[in-house]
Structure 1
């Protein structure tokens, strides 16, 4: 079996590197300086156990790959990039290639299922950092992360059993789960805070804002009758992980914070907080905190505002009854 990892940043690069280190055939799809650095110098994987630079097969587009019957695609790009990636993948690989969505949120599986015959949701718990081209950090040892997967919308199959076994052999905990979306909906509640870090910074007092965001989400889940795993279920599953310091490296913020810090210009908040906003619109639930944060995160990424340009209290004030929409410009931005 060959693994095509589409989106070789922190998560995709870490998964692909560990699969290759353990003897599996891997192709990475990346872009920009990251792709060029990997082509010239390989992919450097830094973990608490040390640093290793791997010669990797890296390409910039699916059309550069001659797809085979034994290929499995692992999607690991940010959700705002999924649609274009699926179009390119479908045009090159066709509808029968298996696709695992190792991504935040719950929208990627829906979009993949419109085109591909075998789609799988993957729960990703993997503390990874990608800030420097050609370098990926995974802050976990000895296991690198939890990568449970299930057939979308539900079920498992023989292929998934093999994929999970390969990931287990590569340093991950990976179990087939026929109801994987229950866990992904639970993880989404945690991901609602990703944009908070991107707007407010890493050290802001965010407790009240996080509670407001999650209260809205819980109300939406109840109104939509969404089957969501309990906090205890998810906590028990990921309790086997041990986040560990990498010598000489600080642990970065959320993936959204990393996107803003790299100056990427876009964030995936539309598919995290925006998922709650959509559910609220469909089921008559007010979601002002998630809506305001979604707008602010997009504004900050678009205008190149670094984390810390607005406080949690300012966001809550804007989400309060009678408050106006966020401004079109960047007032409130700090240094």
Structure 2
């Protein structure tokens, strides 16, 4: 199989680099300065064993590949807000022997949240969810890092909306030869919703900085509890904290990397890069949506969604709002829903 990594940033670049490092055929898809650096200098992957350089084919769209191959596996690793454009670009791409990518090829959605795979299923026949536990960072054009050890990450795989098949098992086997653990599960959404609850803190971190002092931690617990209440009201199952901890154990422990500081998660990185967009609409916004559908107030998640979107749109600095100011806004938001 050949892996086509659509969005070779922090997550996609690390997955692609690790697969390439274990001998698998990989094509990276990128744009702008990142595309140019990958094309000219290769993918530089900073991991605990050092900096690895992989000279891989890199394209900015399907036209550069001509016809796709019947054994291609598409890995969608763009942020969810960029999914529609990416899928509409790759779905009509012709596949050797007839048909299109949307008709014939599997697409694995290696993204936060749960919406990317629903978007994909509107266009692609064969869609797989991936629960991504992969601490990684886009360092600069052409350079990504992953500080996890002894494993780089844990990637639960499964068909969307449910089930497993031979393709998922083959991809999992390749990942497990590439510094990942990749359980194949029939209920991948249960793991993704559990991860979603953790990712509700991404906007909090992006707006105020690392969630470390007691006030920030207390607010995160309230935000997460609000999310859990919504999932319970909607009848959506999710893996418990204890179950997640049992799976993770000490398998992905962060170690310091030279020249690759980890400033924050994916939302923090979006603000730091000044991309102008952020994934809060599909994290905190997912809880807000479900809350409205099931009659559960979600003032804290709505507030974080609004603030994150504002910071991204106005290109404000990551972590620039004092925690005390956010706490004041949070308390006011809760009072206003009563």
- Cα distance in structure 2, aligned partners of 1:146 and 1:248: 24
Q: Matched residues in 1 for 2:270 and 2:138: separation?
A: 9
User: Which of 197, 202, 207 pairs up with 2:217?
Assistant: 207
Aligned-pair CA distance for 1:320: 3.2
State the Cα deviation string for residues 67-99 of structure 1 (Å, max 9, x = none). 111011111111110111111111212322101
After superposition, residues 234-273 of structure 1 pair within 5 angstroms as: 234-239=244-249, 240-273=251-284
Matched, 1:225 2:235: yes
| Residue of structure 2 equivalent to 1:114 | 122
Give the corresponding residue for 2:138. 130
2:74 corresponds in structure 1 to: 73
Q: Which residue of 2 aligns with 1:141?
A: 149
C-alpha contact 2:276 2:314 (8 A) present in aligned 1? yes
Instruction: Tell me if the contact between 2:300 and 2:334 (Cα under 8 Å) persists in the aligned partners.
Output: no
Match of 1:97 in 2: 105
Judged with a 3 Å threshold, the aligned counterparts in structure 2 of structure 1 residues 31 and 316 are, in CA distance, closer, same or farther, namely: same
Indicate the structure with greater strand content. Answer: 2
Question: CA shift at 1:203, angstroms?
Answer: 6.2
- Say which of 177, 188, 193 aligns to 1:185: 193
Moved more, 223-232 or 84-93: 84-93
How many residues are treated as equivalent by the alignment? 325
Task: Return structure 1 stretches of 4+ with deviation > 3 angstroms.
Answer: 319-325
Structure 1 pair 313–289 and aligned structure 2 pair: CA distance change class (3 A): farther
Q: Which runs of 5+ in 1 are unaligned?
A: 326-335
Going from structure 1 to structure 2, the CA distance change for 1:274 and 1:238 (only over 3 Å counts) comes to same
When the two chains are superposed, the root-mean-square deviation of aligned CA atoms in Å is 1.6
Tell me the CA shift for residue 135 of structure 1. 0.2
TM-score by length of 1: 0.93
CA contact (8 A) 2:6 2:77 kept: yes
Instruction: Give the drift of 1:323.
Output: 7.5
